[in-house]
Structure 1
Amino acid sequence: MLAMLLGGVMGLVLGLTGAGGGILAVPALVLGLGWSMTQAAPVALLAVGSAAAVGALDGLRHGLVRYRAALLIALLGALCSPIGIYLAHRLPEKILMGLFSLLMMLVAWRMLRREAPAPGPSDHGSASWGQKNCLLNQQTGRLAWTAKCSATLAALGAVTGVVSGLLGVGGGFLIVPAFKQLTDVQMRGIVATSLMVICLISAVGVVGALRAGVVIDATGGAFITAAIVGMLVGRGVSGRVPARLLQVGFASLCLGLAAYMLYTAAR
């Protein structure tokens, strides 16, 4: 029952925030159920990836996913994820918990920063060449695939893959701000693309962990199922909750969990 409750809350937050909420999955398993980081990582990835798949399919249905960019990022993530998994099985538990706590603090800081709203009513942003590494073609609405754009997205995928394998997170907290900084895609397209990448990279990470001998038991299965249900509920009510309230609430939760994980690691 506790696993289902924690999974439901994680899925709800993921559905409300669009991306990044999956970072709560590992703390829920480590602090809530007493699992180790290496036990929690594959279950967290599978829960986050399954929930993200729901959002990604919805994004594809509405034509919001930049699927070529998502596939490139996921491909590099898949190639680099085993590096993170290798490190995760060799680093001490305290180091892993410390790294995860710092990561949560970074996510909270980015959430609390106030940013000016992006211009443009559609999924087409506005920027001039030289300001962004990847720009949309205003006639076709698709990304202009230059060498600079391809290299940028490939590098983003590599970093996301390593972090995903190391800490058991989907990578939305990296992909969303990076897309906002490096492209002129509007936010709804960024979130949909991020969810597709999270789904693909999480699947690769889970396969790698299972090959390394990690077993997902009935408790993990209950957590994953509840996360999917929570994701559906979160997406259904997300439009009724003020965005700034979501950001502040999520950031505060991240800071509290990060502090507790640091305290637990220090003990």
Structure 2
Amino acid sequence: MTATVLTVGLAVLIGVSLGLLGGGGSILAVPLLVYVADLPAKEAIATSLLVVGATSAVALLPHARAGRVRWRTGLVFGVAGMAGAYAGGRLAAFVPSAFLLTGFALMMLATAVAMIRGRRATAGRPVPHELPVLRVVLDGIVVGLVTGLVGAGGGFLVVPALTLLGGLPMPAAVGTSLVVIAMKSFAGLAGYLSSVRINWGLAVALTVAAVLGSVLGGRLAGRVPADLLRRAFGWFVVVMGVFVLAQQFPGKLGPAVAAIGALALAGTVTVAVGRHRRRSYY
């Protein structure tokens, strides 16, 4: 009972993350359900897809009212992502849980480096209102496959795809990503339901708590500078990625791997950011 109450309480942070950062919901939800609620990995992934999908749909509303959503880009990305997410959800039934969580953590760390590093400044390049359809479709399918396979709603991949590859400003990427996350999460859930059963009572309680958090996150989103938001998102993903990766190694080996991984990642980020700043300066 205590674990359930704690899980529901912490679910508020899932909503805050989605409302503020346009992602990170499953990065919180999967570890929360596995390590606090003590759910099996695949049930945790399926439950997170439900919670994050519903919460993203609600968190989208304040961004839409503020004009921070690129609807065509979001809907095309979402449709392409739904196809990939459903396929990933079906494929996950044949992949060992430890592989899913390890892959989840590694992708989080790779994405974090890209977000902290940022895009190379390109003077004179206009900010796009909508992205090219073909690029959006290809990115959507790839990100959707990952979403369905490892249970991530996709924000930690969609936001970098929209900002680093597409060039959308961070506030627009955050709002648009919520459209994509909601669509892909429900598609990935449909794939999982063929092989996984969900505790619906727990899922509904988590969703309500996360929705309340998303309202707070959405109110904060328009008040935080875009560069600060991007870097905060990246470091948030670093912390969660190192934690999840450490849990996949037995005994005392886990903390050692986490420490080595954190140091290596910090060095990589420092070098990457330094090079990026020098290129931008010149």
1:38 aligns with 2:21: no
Aligned residue for 2:157? Answer: 174
Distance 1:108 1:225 in 2: 28
1:90 aligns with 2:99: no
Deviation at 1:185, TM superposition (A): 3.6
Question: Residue 157 of structure 1 is aligned with which of 121, 133, 140?
Answer: 140
Aligned residue for 1:67? Answer: 71
1:126 aligns with 2:126: yes
Distance 1:211 1:164 in 2: 16
Aligned residue for 1:234? Answer: 217
Distance 1:91 1:63 in 2: 40
Unaligned runs of at least 5 residues, structure 2 = 251-282
Percent of residue pairs identical:
34
Deviation at 1:191, TM superposition (A): 1.9
Q: CA RMSD in A?
A: 2.7
Superposed CA offset, 1:110-166 (max 9, x none):
33225578989xxxx716xxxxxxx54xxxxxx48xxxx222111111012111111
Deviation at 1:97, TM superposition (A): 1.4
Distance 1:187 1:243 in 2: 5
Counterparts of 1:1-267 in structure 2 under 5 Å?
1-115=5-119, 126=126, 135-136=128-129, 143=130, 149-239=132-222, 250-267=233-250
Alpha-carbon distance change, 62 to 260 in structure 1, aligned in 2, over 3 angstroms: closer
Letter matched to residue 36 of structure 2: G
Alpha-carbon distance change, 102 to 241 in structure 1, aligned in 2, over 3 angstroms: same
Distance 2:155 2:86 in 1: 18
Higher helix residue share: 2
Alpha-carbon distance change, 105 to 43 in structure 1, aligned in 2, over 3 angstroms: same
Letter matched to residue 100 of structure 1: F
Alpha-carbon distance change, 152 to 4 in structure 1, aligned in 2, over 3 angstroms: same
| Higher normalized contact order (CA 8 Å, seq sep 6+, divided by chain length) | 1
TM-score, normalized by length of structure 1? 0.79
Q: Secondary structure at the match of 1:265?
A: coil
Whether contact under 8 Å (1:3, 1:220) holds in the other structure is: no
Distance 2:61 2:101 in 1: 33
Whether contact under 8 Å (1:43, 1:224) holds in the other structure is: no
Whether contact under 8 Å (1:24, 1:254) holds in the other structure is: no
Superposed CA offset, 1:184-231 (max 9, x none):
543332222111111111122222322434223322222221111111
Whether contact under 8 Å (1:49, 1:170) holds in the other structure is: yes
TM-score, normalized by length of structure 2? 0.76
Q: Secondary structure at the match of 2:197?
A: coil
Deviation at 1:45, TM superposition (A): 1.3
How many pairs align? 246
Whether contact under 8 Å (1:46, 1:206) holds in the other structure is: yes
Whether contact under 8 Å (2:57, 2:182) holds in the other structure is: yes
Deviation at 1:177, TM superposition (A): 1.8
Whether contact under 8 Å (2:171, 2:221) holds in the other structure is: no
Superposed CA offset, 1:36-62 (max 9, x none):
221111211122112211232333334
Deviation at 1:107, TM superposition (A): 3.1
Letter matched to residue 18 of structure 1: G
Distance 1:12 1:169 in 2: 16
Deviation at 1:264, TM superposition (A): 2.2
Superposed CA offset, 1:12-39 (max 9, x none):
2222223334422111111222222211
